[in-house]
Amino acid sequence: MHELSVASAVVEKVLEFVSAHSVKKVLAVRLEIGELSHIEAEQLRFCYVAITEQTPIQDSALEIETVEAVVNCERCRYRGRPKYWDDALSVGPIPTMECPNCGAAVEIAEGNDCAIKSIRFAVEDDGLAIPAA
Amino acid sequence: MIQTIEASPDEIYDIELEHSLLEANARLAKENRALLDRHGVTAIDVMGAIGSGKTTLISRLVERLKDRFGVAVFNGDATTSTDADLIANQSVPVVQIATVNGCHLDANLVGKALRKISLEPLRLVFIENIGNLICPAEFPLGSKARVVVVSVTEGPYMVRKHPHMFLGAQLVVINKIDLAEAMGVSVAELTKDVHKLKPDLRVIPTSCKAGDGLDEVTAALLAV
């Protein structure tokens, strides 16, 4: 159930942003979740709604985008999507660490992180200066 | 230099944050590793399901190694200290890490445990993770190697059901092989599944109870 700790980390960071700037309302928080991370989007959304209740970011949307996995092969210099094990389980293909090109073991290059990408918000009536992206 | 833009009232803004949620743990894991390296200590993270034999494996390895050099054990357990008590009977330093409601150890908890013991006389620290095959994979602790313990009593599909756990591991121990026949589980098939996920991942079949395979595990861990 570490979706709850991930949701808490999101909320903590967003509330920190809200208190540092005069934000009127947070409309949306956009996350990128790597294909190889173990975070389940639906459970994360559920936790987010539950713990944002009665906070300044209640009712903000949690937009989740999946980042595709990319692997590197040291042996044949392949860089790209991993090889998938198609018939391992009925729910879907499993990404593996076997090079799709030469069969050696590969390293993960992308797709195992989970990050807040951006926050969409409306500012207070008196306006404010915010750091530009 | 930070540039600023003037925001007007009631306008809607998007701001890029690029804040990794796993980075805090990864940073602490690096700090743990640096602390261990400074003292010439190797940490081994032992992961696996409840009842797979993590404590028994560690206990057998401690038995074999404790007279050769300093060994300590961190026992992650949600509520009880039964595992820590078992290891403490072997007269090596033990730190119980109670996560209470937590489903995995994290680098912060391990960092605190590392500061509770004297690292000077040690060469090896075994970290027994919480019995869980999903969450621990996401949280590196600063160990030099991660070992996954799978036992044949967990059935024939254990590896393919929990693929993520194996992707970041350096060694897989298939335990309780003395029960394989009774369970109708093939050690060769489990090994094949591991290699489908990660072709170079070393697999050692063991029976921690009977002692099979423990020489190989000891040698493999001393070589990391």
Residue ranges per domain, chain A? Answer: 1-67+111-127, 69-110
Separation in Å, CA of A52 to nearest CA in chain B: 17
* 3-class secondary structure, B137: helix
pTM of model > 0.90? no
Inform me whether the C-beta atom of residue B1 falls under 8 Å from chain A C-beta atoms. no
**Which residue range is the domain that position B198 belongs to?**
23-222
Q: Which residues of A touch B107 (CB under 8 A)?
A: none
Partner-chain residue, chosen from A36, A105, A127, that has the shortest CB–CB distance to B199? A105
Partner-chain residue, chosen from B4, B22, B137, that has the shortest CB–CB distance to A130? B4
Separation in Å, CA of B218 to nearest CA in chain A: 24
Give the mean model confidence (pLDDT) for residues A70-75. Answer: 97
For residue B108, give both structure tokens. 């912060």
Q: Which residues of B touch A133 (CB under 8 A)?
A: 14-16
Separation in Å, CA of A114 to nearest CA in chain B: 6
CB-CB under 8 Å, B134 with A105 = no
Q: In this predicted structure, what is the pLDDT of residue A133?
A: 47
Q: In this predicted structure, what is the pLDDT of residue A48?
A: 94
Please report the DSSP string for B21-34 in residue order: SSHHHHHHHHHHHH
Residue in B closest to A131 by C-alpha: B4
Q: Which residues of B touch A120 (CB under 8 A)?
A: 12-14
Lowest mean pLDDT among A113-117, A129-133, B65-69, B151-155: A129-133
Read off the pLDDT band of A86 (50, 70, 90).
Answer: confident
Q: Which of A2-11, A63-72, B97-106 has the highest mean pLDDT?
A: A63-72
Give the residues of chain B that fall short of pLDDT 50: 1
Examine the pLDDT at A127 and tell me if it is beyond 70: no
CB-CB under 8 Å, B134 with A119 = no
Q: Which residues of A touch B193 (CB under 8 A)?
A: 88
Q: Which residues of B touch A27 (CB under 8 A)?
A: 12
Q: Is B21 exposed, middle or buried (0-12, 13-18, 19+ CB in 10 A)?
A: buried
Give the mean model confidence (pLDDT) for residues A46-52. Answer: 93
Facing residues of A84 across strands?
A95
Q: In this predicted structure, what is the pLDDT of residue B9?
A: 60
Give the mean model confidence (pLDDT) for residues A16-34. Answer: 89
Residues A72-97 as b/e (b if ≥16 CB within 10 A, e otherwise) read ebeeeebebebbebeebeeeeebbbb
CATH number at residue B74: 3.40.50.300
Q: In this predicted structure, what is the pLDDT of residue B3?
A: 53
Can you name the CATH fold of A1-67+111-127? hypothetical protein PF0899 fold (3.30.2320)
Inform me whether the C-beta atom of residue B26 falls under 8 Å from chain A C-beta atoms. no
Domain count, chain B: 1
Quote the ipTM score. 0.78
Residue B106, in any domain of the structure: yes
Query: Could you give the strand order of the β-sheet that contains B70-77, starting from the edge strand earlier in sequence?
Result: B94-98, B70-77, B122-128, B42-48, B145-151, B171-175, B202-205
Distance, C-alpha A30 to centroid of its chain: 8
Q: Which residues of B touch A105 (CB under 8 A)?
A: 198-201
CA contacts within 13 A on the Cβ side of B17: 25
CB-CB under 8 Å, A113 with B199 = no
Residue in A closest to B195 by C-alpha: A98
The terminus-to-terminus CA distance of chain A in angstroms comes to 33
